Chain A
Amino acid sequence: NAGVTQTPKFRVLKTGQSMTLLCAQDMNHEYMYWYRQDPGMGLRLIHYSVGEGTTAKGEVPDGYNVSRLKKQNFLLGLESAAPSQTSVYFCASSYRLGSNNEQFFGPGTRLTVL
């Protein structure tokens, strides 16, 4: 099992450009999450999904869109990047029936917006 994978690992964008971050999991998890991590602020939830075809807003959804067309994939889109979106982005997945709800994390994508 590869667990949770994220692509790309690094990216530099100019203000106004768009991009999509891809997250994939091979654990048959129902729930998937996108977080951003900024120094001293811990993890903030951007969007999450409770199953294929569903998405929901988290704590900081503005400027981001997501899609969950397949159970194993969760895409995070930035339509018009802004410097305030410079951050490290983590994808996570969770929920197997009877589990302790542990979230499994990908290695992160470091995004810089100039």
Chain B
Amino acid sequence: GEDVEQSLFLSVREGDSSVINCTYTDSSSTYLYWYKQEPGAGLQLLTYIFSNMDMKQDQRLTVLLNKKDKHLSLRIADTQTGDSAIYFCAESGSNYQLIWGAGTKLIIKP
């Protein structure tokens, strides 16, 4: 069945790059998404990538997609304390549903 997997925690030092990884199973997914959830808030779309792309860059964010391995990653350059959040990977499913990973909590060390 459809499943999206990601590690639950990632700890990085302020100023370093953070790389959050995700694997998915549905090769027919049209879009793959990264959402950010700050403490006590709802989820907000951070970025997304269309399935025919390998890479997408948006300021400090780089998304890499390896369709052969069904692997998606989010790189945050120059990680700041404001990047502390839970990051969710999701893939598009049927009926406009999204298949969600469990979320990776990004912890920033000073």
Contact = CB atoms under 8 A, between A and B. Distances in A.
Interface of A: 4, 31, 33, 40-43, 45, 48, 50, 56, 58, 90, 92, 94-95, 100-108
Given A92-B43, A103-B43, 15 more contacts: A4-B42, A40-B102, A41-B102, A42-B88, A42-B100, A43-B43, A50-B95, A50-B96, A90-B42, A94-B96, A101-B31, A101-B96, A102-B33, A102-B48, A103-B98
B96 A95 contact: yes
A34 to B, nearest CB: 12
B92 interface: yes
Contacts of B42: 4, 90, 105-108
Interface of B: 8, 30-31, 33, 40-45, 48, 50, 88, 92, 95-98, 100-103
B92 A101 contact: yes
B5 to A, nearest CB: 10
Contacts of A33: 97
10 contacts: A31-B96, A43-B88, A43-B100, A48-B95, A90-B43, A92-B43, A101-B31, A102-B33, A105-B44, A107-B42
Nearest to B48: A100
A38 to B, nearest CB: 10
Contacts of A90: 42-43
Contacts of B45: 102-104
Most chain A CB within 10 A, of B31, B42, B50, B88, is at: B42
Nearest to A42: B102
A38 B97 CA distance: 19
Contact of B103 (A42, A94, A102, A103): A42
8 nearest A-B pairs in the assembled complex, by CB-CB distance:
A105-B42, A42-B102, A43-B100, A105-B43, A42-B100, A31-B96, A107-B42, A102-B45
